[in-house]
Structures are given as structure tokens and as C-alpha cells.
Amino acid sequence: MRPSPSVLQTVLILGLGLGLFASAPAWTQTAASASRSIPAFPRPAGFPDPALRVTYARADEAPPMMVRTGPNTFEPLYRRTGDGYAPARAAGYRIAMSSCPSITTGSGDYRARMIDLAAAEWAYFGLPVLDMAVEPSAIVPRVPQPSGVVEIISPQRNASIGDRVLRQAPRLGLMEDDDAVGGAIAGYWAATGSEEAMRVQSIVNYGWHEAGWAMPWSAAFISWLACEAGLSTDQFRRSGGHIDYVRAAVRARDGQDSGHMFVAYDLSEATPAAGDLLCTSRGESSFASIADLRAGNSPSNALHCDLVVKTDIKHNRLYAIGGNVNHAVTLSVIATDNKGKPLSDKDIIGAHRWFAVLKPRAGGKVAHDLDGTPTVQALYRDYARYAGSRRGQPPVPVQARGARAKGDAAP
């Protein structure tokens, strides 16, 4: 019997197809302060709102703006007034809560909890998707001719971002310059315990409002996931830079950091699974192995890591959620070989330079992947009701975890 479509497939179709409806279903809501009509999905009941970790200080209430002039030195900025100069003040976010986690309900498995949290934030940003799979489809379509197919633009050159190549048009959601998500991103930063990015952002916004976040926040997002999953600073090195917790995972691998809950492996040693962190070099970084990390063999420490939320070896796919991917919390579709290992830039043009996977020390199989998260389950059920009310074909009913479709043979 042909297997039923996965819950994730249905949700991806839902997310990509919302724009086709004359009116969006009632369970979606366009963020009031969004600059685009992006369907936003509320977080499930009992899930933390990262924006509650920060307060927003108006200009008159904000402290004077300070500019870094050295490793530990700052100088104030001044503005001209009618009778001289006064300290310049800019509205911005400040940390209001730093305890972890802010809400203790949910899965006792920190890996499943991180997946649950990542799925909720992905939906809150409007289900953006970045498909980096290996099919050669292009944003600019290819036109068939009598003599064959003529490519307007080669897929190798199509819509490139740095060394990456987008083989399909990305599905965009809310982005970092939307007011609707500004507090959430500030909340991710708050989990690192540092206000540096918020201080810099207040200066940026002072000169140019809605400019987006000046400092990359992908590591802050991963740090927030670890924080809300219940991991202490000894169990996960929360930081605004991926290099800090990746190096801690390398030390854990070497037996020098027994408390860290993630352990680093080369991709040649381990296959990514749901609950792992998949890491790539970026920018000027040349890290290509755990040995490089140990020795510091790179002119730059620039890294990026995503949380693996689902694997599909049968279809050579891996799904991962990361922050600051296309300026949002985005689900990336990553091509893998027939053993589940992600293809790198050595395998296909434009792929990331994947080289390491951080595996949770807990071991064993995670309680559930993306399909089993409260967010995706709710989206799936609600869409089934919506499709039924329109007399359309609803998706295949959600199966109980571990259950097989009727007629499926046992492995």
C-alpha cells in the first residue's frame, strides 16, 4: 500500500498555498504591525513568548547611548540642543528576565522540547521555507522549445546568495524588520545574558528605523531554545556566537566538559537525526572538521547551526529550523545522500559547508520529530476542519504516534 503523506508535507502544502485562498482561514491571523500580509500562527497554549524576556524603554526612559571605543571602554553620544548638547537617548530593548526556562511545562526530553519550541517560532514567523534540495528547478522558469529545454538562467547562477544557490523560490514569512517579531528576537538575545546586540540595535534604530537587526541572531535563537528547554549555562554555553557552544561540544567529545549536553562529531562519523545541531562554516571561516576546531585552523570563527527537526532518508531530505535564515526563523530543506548525510558544497554547487553535527548526550531516539510537535499537529487538525468546511479534500487523518496506516506491512 502506498504510504500516506506525512504531516509535515501537508503543513508545507498549507503554508505554501495560503496565498491561493480568497480569504485565509480563521485560525490564521495577519500580524497587526507586519508590513506584509503574512499569515501568523499563535504559539500553542503553555509555550513561552520570548518577547516577555525584555522590556522596551522609550527614548526619554532609555539610558544614554554609548559607543564602544575599546574592549571594555565606552563613550557617550551627544545631540545638539537649543542651549548646548545633551546625551542622546534611543528607544530600545532591555533584559527583564534571564531565568531558564520561563515555563516549565512540556516534554521532559530537552531534545523534543527544543523541537517543539523551534516549530512554534517557525509558525509564529509565518512558516517560511528555504528549499536547498538538489532538484534543478529554478526561480526563473525554463521555457520548452522544439529542440528541447532552454534555460533562461542556469540553475548554478540562479538567485545566488553568497555561495548558496536557491533552487526553488523561498516561501517568505515575517522578517526581522517587522515590528511583530522585534520583541521575539530581542527575547532570543536576552537568553544569552548580554544586552550588547540590543544596545547596538538601539543606536541603529536611532538613525534608521526598521533597518533589521545589525548583529546576526542565529546563535541567540539556538541559545534561547536551549534555555527554554531547561538547559543551564553549564549544560549549554548560551552565546551570541555559535563558536562558543560548538567548542564546548568539542571539549565534551574530548572528555574535558562532562556537563555539556551536546557532543561534537564530524559528519563522516555520525548521521544527523532529529534533535541534533547541524553546523556549517560561513563567511571567511574555513573549519572543515572537529580537528580544525580543536586547533583553531581558520581565519574566522564564523559558523551557523540549525536544529534538525526531521529526517527523511527515503526521499534524501533533512529538515532543520534555524534563526536568521532569510532574516527569519525558517525551515530549511537540505539534500542528503542515501544514508542521511547532508550534501555539502563538495557534492553540489551552492550547498552549505556542512562539517559537524552536535549530538545530545542523552542518546537514543528523540520522543518525536517535527510531525509530532503541538504546533504542527494543531495546524494539521485545523486545516482538516477548514478543508472539510469548504467541502474540499481534507488531509489524511493524523495517526497516533507509532501507529501504521491500515495495510502497511511491518518492517
Question: How much is the pLDDT for 288?
Answer: 94
Exposure letters 307-346 (e unless 16+ CB within 10 A, then b): bbbbbbeeebbbbbbbbbbbbbbbbbbbbbeeebbbbbbe
Question: How much is the pLDDT for 2?
Answer: 37
Question: How much is the pLDDT for 232?
Answer: 94
Measured CA to CA in angstroms, residue 373 lies from 7, 202, 310, 332 at distances of 10, 35, 11, 17
339-343's contacts with Cβ under 8 Å and 24+ in sequence apart are 339/271, 339/313, 340/271, 340/272, 340/273, 340/311, 340/313, 341/267, 341/271, 341/272, 342/267, 342/272, 342/278, 342/318, 343/134
- β-bridge mates for residue 80, sequence order: 85
- Is-contact 288 281, C-beta < 8 A? yes
> What DSSP string describes 300-369?
---EEEEEEEEEEGGGTEEEEEEEEETTEEEEEEEEB-TTSPBP-TTTSTT--EEEEEEEETT-S--S--
Q: What is the largest CA-CA distance in the chain?
A: 84
Question: How much is the pLDDT for 407?
Answer: 42
- Is-contact 92 198, C-beta < 8 A? yes
Question: How much is the pLDDT for 404?
Answer: 44
Measured CA to CA in angstroms, residue 112 lies from 116, 183, 184, 373 at distances of 6, 25, 21, 8
Straight-line distance from the first to the last Cα atom of the chain, in angstroms, rounded to the nearest whole number:
13
SS3 content of the chain, % helix, strand, coil (to 5): 25, 25, 50
Its sign, for the CA torsion 366, 39, 240, 326, is: positive
Q: Which helix (H) or strand (E) holds 160?
A: strand 160-161
Instruction: Work out the burial of residue 151: count CB atoms within 10 Å of its CB; fewer than 13 is exposed, 13-18 middle, 19 or more buried.
Output: middle
- Residue-by-residue pLDDT tens, the chain, 411 positions: 333 456 666 566 555 444 333 334 444 554 554 455 677 789 999 999 999 999 998 877 877 877 788 888 888 888 888 888 888 888 889 999 989 999 876 667 999 999 999 999 999 999 999 888 765 555 555 555 555 555 555 555 555 555 555 666 678 889 998 888 999 999 999 999 999 999 888 888 877 766 789 999 999 999 999 999 999 999 999 999 999 999 999 999 999 999 999 999 999 999 999 999 999 999 899 999 999 999 999 999 999 999 999 999 998 999 999 999 999 999 999 999 999 999 988 887 778 899 999 999 988 889 999 999 999 999 888 877 766 676 656 555 444 434 444 444 433
Q: Where are the alpha helices (DSSP H) in 67-134?
A: 110-124
Question: How much is the pLDDT for 133?
Answer: 76
pTM of the predicted protein model: 0.82
